[in-house]
Amino acid sequence: MLRGFYTAASGMLAEQQRQDMLAHNLANAQTPGYKADQSATRAFPTMLLHAISGNERPAPIGELSTGVYMQEQMPNFRQGDIKETGNSTDVSIVQTGGGDEQVLLFAVQTEGGIRYTRNGNLQVDSEGRLATTNGWIIQSTDGTPIQVDNETFTIDSEGVVTAEDGTNRGTIEIVVEMDPMAFRKEGDGLYSFEGEAPETAHGNAETPFILRQNALEQSNVNPAQTMNDMLSAYRLFEANQKVIQAYDQSMDKVANEVGRLT
């Protein structure tokens, strides 16, 4: 009977973790370029039960599950909707082929080194460099900041930045990776890469994309679906809770009634 407590409790913990993940997704439904997290739940190893009677050979009864757990949490890099904003400092990555399994990100310089983001809501910092609204410096394909001086600049479909005076200020670096699990979320829309560095997407015929100025990629969170998933997680949590209550009542009877001497 105690095994039943552990099985139900593991289900509650898994659904609580899933609920927290879904709540975080919903909170970022309006964050530009945000990629929703998704989870995979796995069962613990099952136990094969046998009935033993005297000297007879044990007879198999069947398998018994020992609980579940959230095995992993991973971002869904499916492209979000593209919204026209009219702001010269907004730029979005538009994948024109290659499938959703390809991960395309901006490279930015942070205090902790090079990181990656999909948020194209940019600005011109106090030193005239192209940066994110969080202050991370957008990197060019040669690994240097892009000096634009003011907001009167243009970005073509290949990421070439041209300043107001007509000079070429560099090309925005876009990286590509086939394995989404190679990136780890760090918060504020940043990702670190598990390895040396992802390869550049420029000149890669297998990675067709364009950059679109004056437009911003929206979060790929589906609020209605997320709310439905949160309700499902709550009901599963509640069902496991009722199982524990039923076991608790049975244990109470065993301890206080079955063994009572009259």
Of 76, 95, 92, 73, the residue nearest 35 (C-alpha) = 76
pTM of the model: 0.79
Residue 261 forms part of a structural domain: no
CA–CA gap between residue 80 and residue 67 (Å, rounded) = 35
pLDDT for 39: 86
Q: Are residues 122 and 101 in the same domain?
A: yes
Tell me the C-alpha distance between 169 and 33, whole Å: 25
| Position 259 in a domain | no
Q: Are residues 151 and 128 in the same domain?
A: yes
One digit per residue, the tens of pLDDT, for the chain of length 262 reads: 566 777 788 888 888 899 999 999 999 999 999 999 988 777 666 655 566 666 667 766 666 566 776 777 888 999 999 999 999 999 999 988 766 678 999 999 999 899 999 999 999 999 999 999 989 999 999 999 999 999 999 999 999 999 989 999 999 999 998 888 889 989 888 999 988 888 888 877 678 899 999 999 999 999 999 999 999 999 989 998 888 888 788 877 777 776 565 4
Same domain, 156 and 125: yes
Q: CA of 232: how far to CAs of 91, 208, 238, in Å?
A: 36, 38, 10
262 lies in some domain: no
Same domain, 34 and 64: yes
Please enumerate in sequence order all residues whose Cβ is within 8 A of that of 145, keeping only pairs 6 or more positions apart, or say none: 109, 129, 130, 137, 138, 139
Same domain, 202 and 94: yes
How high is the pLDDT of residue 56? 67
Report d(CA 63, CA 47) in Å as an integer.
5
Domain co-membership, 198 together with 231: no
- Both 151 and 29 in a single domain? no
Is the sign of the CA dihedral 119, 217, 123, 103 positive or negative?
Answer: positive
- 126/63 same-domain check: no
* Total domain count, the chain: 2
Domain assignment of residue 91, yes or no: yes
Q: Is residue 260 part of a domain?
A: no
| Single-letter code of the amino acid located at 27 | A
Distance CA 29, CA 222 (A): 7
Per-residue tokens: 78: 């499916």
Same domain? For 67 and 107 the reply is no
Same domain, 192 and 89: yes
Q: Which domain holds residue 186?
A: 82-217
The DSSP bridge pattern shows strands 113-117 and 103-110 to be: antiparallel
Q: Does residue 17 lie within any of the structural domains?
A: yes
44 and 146 belong to one structural domain: no
Q: What angle do CA 77, 148, 85 make, to 5 degrees?
A: 50
Looking at residue 44, its pLDDT comes to 63
Same domain, 211 and 113: yes
Provide the phi-psi class of 63: left if phi over 0, else alpha when psi is between -120 and 50, else beta. beta
188 occurs within a structural domain? yes
Encode 53-64: b = buried (16+ Cβ within 10 Å), e = exposed: eeeeeeeeeeee
Q: What is the pLDDT of residue 244?
A: 84
